[in-house]
Structure 1
Amino acid sequence: MNRNLYLFDFDGTLTSKDTLFDFLKFSFPKTYNFNYLIFTPLFVVSKLKLIDAGKVKEKFISKFMKGLSVSEIDNLAQNYFEQNHQTLINKKANDYIKQISNYNDKFIVSASVDFWVKPFADYYGMGLICTKAKFDEQGIFTGIFATKNCNYEEKKVRIEQEIDLTFYDEIISFGDTKGDEAMFSISTKSNFRYFN
């Protein structure tokens, strides 16, 4: 029997929308619009690749969450998952993941930050490779990332660091943007916008 590895991008592949903005808007409804407005010029400049998108994302998330404890963030993430997962996850993706035999391994590989993606990975029994938040010794979010932004080439780097690919007969990946091309390059079968 073949042992397969399944790699799933998260935003726009498994989900119907970008979860960074959705999670922050859901969790911080009173301050979200004001902060988003302040950051709009930076989002535009990062889209034009004039500044690093990962750094803009780090600063934006920090604006809301710096200084929160692990348990406070876990509560926000769990609440977001419980209230939104049924409408957020693409039905075709949900059905596909649930029919993968436990003999095979499956991972979410995402540029999104671990704290709000982890409840989704746990729910589906999946491993998680993503951008990680940095906490201090007291378990307080420092406002910066512990890893590089897990997108483009970094997806490939992290997959190769965290998974022994020689263990698998097939590597089957799913993505929806140019940010997934490096992940596709190490796959035996790539699926672009498969669930859309």
Structure 2
Amino acid sequence: MKKLYFFDFDGTLTYKDTMFLYLKFYNSAKFNFQFLKHIPLFILLKLKLASAEKVKKSFISSILKGQSKTKIEEKSQQFFEKYYPEIIRENAIEFIQNIDREHTESYLVTASLDIWVKPFAEKFKMNLLATRAEFKNDIFTGNFVGNNCNGGEKVHRIKEALQGKKFDKTIAFGDTSGDKEMLEWANESHFEFFH
């Protein structure tokens, strides 16, 4: 029986959201300054008066825009080495280690940026579907390639990745409303399974 697993990352496999953690790790002085500057936007977001994608892009861009791909990749590796396995839920690690790789394909499907999630996906031996950072001449533009990988976009990206592949069962794991469409799309879904 051929199975397909889809795991959301932040909150589902981790104890905390990795975006703030990574950006602070990348440059804490800049992070603190930009965080204060972005408070009005965060408030609008909480009141559902601003788009999550726009606020996220603005905040990430304020810290990482203009940085080289090499430096970002180095920092992402250091971030992984510092926080793995500490931020990953223990039972999630155990579950992932026991996946029957011969009859299963696994995907990490996350709204977080590919740049800092990639080392985790590699460690988990999973394919990565994430929000993609845009680089021009190896410099981060502050923009995303395509849409934020959240909500309906998760299903869109999954379908894109699976073109022509057949599986007997699809199983999804999530923990927020951003995973709703993915959980509904899968044959079997688990909400807050590792909590």
Aligned to 1:193: 192
Question: How far 1:51 sits from its partner (Å)?
Answer: 1.7
Question: How far 1:164 sits from its partner (Å)?
Answer: 3.4
Partners of 1:68 and 1:141 within 8 A in 2: yes
Matches within 5 A, 1:170-185: 170-185=169-184
Instruction: Say whether 1:108 aligns with 2:103.
Output: no
**Greater Cα offset, 4-13 or 41-50:** 41-50
Instruction: Say whether 1:130 aligns with 2:130.
Output: yes
Matches within 5 A, 1:30-109: 30-103=29-102, 104-109=104-109
Residue deviations 1:6-51 (CA, integer Å, cap 9, x gap): 0000000000000000111112112211211111110121232222
Distance in 2 (CA, whole Å) between partners of 1:131 and 1:55 is 13
Q: Which amino acid aligns with 2:5?
A: Y
Distance in 2 (CA, whole Å) between partners of 1:129 and 1:21 is 20
Of all paired residues, the percent bearing the same amino acid is 43
Gaps of 5+ in 2: none
Q: Which amino acid aligns with 2:181?
A: A
Partners of 1:70 and 1:141 within 8 A in 2: yes
The list of structure 1 runs, each at least 4 consecutive aligned residues, that deviate by more than 3 angstroms after superposition, is none
Gaps of 5+ in 1: none
Distance in 1 (CA, whole Å) between partners of 2:163 and 2:193 is 25
**Greater Cα offset, 163-172 or 29-38:** 163-172
Question: How far 1:165 sits from its partner (Å)?
Answer: 7.1
Partners of 1:12 and 1:176 within 8 A in 2: yes
Partners of 1:133 and 1:147 within 8 A in 2: no
Residue deviations 1:133-153 (CA, integer Å, cap 9, x gap): 0011x1110011112011111
Aligned to 1:145: 144
Partners of 1:8 and 1:174 within 8 A in 2: yes
Instruction: Say whether 1:7 aligns with 2:12.
Output: no
Aligned to 1:117: 117
Distance in 2 (CA, whole Å) between partners of 1:9 and 1:70 is 25
Residue deviations 1:167-188 (CA, integer Å, cap 9, x gap): 1101011000111010012101
What's the secondary structure of 2:85's corresponding residue? helix
Residue deviations 1:53-100 (CA, integer Å, cap 9, x gap): 111101101111111111110001000000001111110000101100
State the TM-score, normalizing by the size of structure 2: 0.96
Residue deviations 1:107-148 (CA, integer Å, cap 9, x gap): 100000000000000111100001000011x11100111120
State the TM-score, normalizing by the size of structure 1: 0.96
Partners of 1:47 and 1:53 within 8 A in 2: no
- Cα 1:165–1:111 change in 2 (3 A) is farther
